[in-house]
């Protein structure tokens, strides 16, 4: 069911109430975007990835133990499939559903008429960042629980994997913002998801064929940010920084497109 922005989120106010309006828009985004299916699907498909990682560890356990490898043995395989397929598709579906409802209810037209498109987009961006953070937190939590409770791994060695949550969060945010930009133009859920699914497939092919060239590709950002195909650099601050910078660049590019398309809704 579509929900329109409440009056206190879109009312034109003086400058000293601008921050309050953005806060209201942010709260409204949280309220209307409570898609339980997304969080359940995220937990389920992350668990599939963790199982794959754990299965690989068990298959070669004597070799890994001889090398003193624990968390790294699980991480690479555990994050590979979620980062290449599950996360991009689910994140895109999450954002596409929200934006499709905006078009159904002609909310962008109302926001343009009230002059509050910028405030609404700011609220959406804040909500997108929060959702991205929680998306990555779910995977990290399952990874840690599996390693500590099942594998008995040392939690003190988790530092690099927790730090990887920063570029991964930004990568998810970039995909979410890109989906919003595409949805603002495509309007329908089916059209948006068709485009995002094709982009995801292209990202998978690029990550497999030429991982080095996948760094700037938006739908391959999570794989690159997680170092799934470059485990030797899992703790590299240079690798993390470059992933963060590329992800932020895509967020800004997508935001500009999103804002432009939203302002064209009349």
In a domain, 33, yes or no: no
The answer to whether 48 touches 86, Cβ cutoff 8 Å, is yes
Q: How many CB atoms lie within 10 A of CB 263?
A: 15
Domain that holds residue 125: 81-263
Look up residue 50 and give its two tokens. 């963790």
Residue 44 has what pLDDT?
Answer: 97
Residue 10 has what pLDDT?
Answer: 43
Q: Can you list the residues of the chain whose pLDDT is less than 70?
A: 1-20, 33-34, 105, 265-266
Residue 130 has what pLDDT?
Answer: 95
Helices 117-145, 36-59: inter-axial angle, 10-degree rounding: 30
The answer to whether 78 touches 69, Cβ cutoff 8 Å, is no
Query: Is the sign of the CA dihedral 33, 36, 41, 46 positive or negative?
Result: positive
The answer to whether 250 touches 96, Cβ cutoff 8 Å, is no
In a domain, 94, yes or no: yes
Residue 3: left (phi > 0), alpha (psi -120 to 50), or beta? beta
The torsion defined by the Cα of 185, 187, 189 and 192, in degrees rounded to 10, comes to -10
In a domain, 54, yes or no: no
In a domain, 22, yes or no: no
Count of domains observed in the chain: 1
Look up residue 149 and give its two tokens. 């409770």
DSSP-based three-state secondary structure for 226: helix
Calculate the alpha carbon distances from 217 to 39, 66, 89, 120, 125 in Å: 25, 37, 15, 27, 21
The answer to whether 81 touches 74, Cβ cutoff 8 Å, is no
Residue 162 has what pLDDT?
Answer: 97
In a domain, 100, yes or no: yes
DSSP-based three-state secondary structure for 234: coil
Spatial CB neighbours of 47, under 8 Å, sequence gap ≥ 6: 142
Residue 8 has what pLDDT?
Answer: 42
Residue 29 has what pLDDT?
Answer: 80
Q: Provide DSSP, 131-187.
A: HHHHHHHHHHHHHHHIIIIIS---GGG-HHHHHTHHHHHHHHHHHHHHHHHHHHHH-
Q: In angstroms, rounded to a whole number, what is the distance separating the alpha carbons of residues 52 and 43?
A: 14
Residue 102: closest CA among 19, 29, 174: 29
In a domain, 72, yes or no: no
Q: In angstroms, rounded to a whole number, what is the distance separating the alpha carbons of residues 213 and 220?
A: 10
Calculate the alpha carbon distances from 232 to 132, 228, 238, 241 in Å: 26, 10, 12, 16
């Amino acid at each position: 069911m579509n929900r329109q922005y409440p009056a206190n989120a879109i009312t034109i106010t003086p400058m000293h109430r601008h921050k309050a309006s953005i806060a209201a828009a942010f709260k409204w985004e949280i309220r209307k975007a409570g898609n339980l299916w997304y969080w359940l699907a995220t937990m389920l498909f992350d668990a599939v990835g963790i199982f794959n990682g754990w299965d690989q560890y068990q298959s070669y356990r004597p070799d890994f133990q001889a090398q003193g490898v624990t968390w790294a043995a699980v991480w690479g395989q555990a994050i590979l499939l979620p980062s290449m397929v599950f996360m991009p598709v689910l994140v895109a579906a999450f954002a596409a559903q929200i934006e499709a409802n905006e078009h159904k209810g002609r909310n962008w037209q109302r926001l343009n008429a009230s002059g509050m498109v910028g405030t609404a987009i700011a609220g959406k961006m804040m909500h997108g960042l929060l959702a991205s953070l929680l998306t990555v937190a779910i995977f990290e939590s399952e990874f840690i629980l599996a390693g500590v409770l099942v594998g008995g791994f040392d939690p003190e060695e988790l530092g690099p994997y927790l730090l990887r949550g920063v570029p991964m969060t930004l990568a998810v945010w970039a995909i979410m913002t890109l989906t919003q930009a595409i949805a603002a133009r495509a309007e329908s859920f089916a059209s948006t998801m068709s485009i995002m699914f094709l982009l995801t497939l292209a990202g998978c092919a690029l990550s497999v064929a030429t991982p080095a060239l996948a760094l700037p590709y938006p739908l391959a950002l999570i794989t690159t940010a997680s170092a799934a195909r470059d485990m030797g650099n899992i703790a590299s601050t240079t690798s993390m920084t470059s992933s963060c910078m590329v992800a932020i660049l895509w967020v800004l590019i997508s935001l500009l497109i999103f804002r432009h398309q939203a302002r064209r809704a009349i």
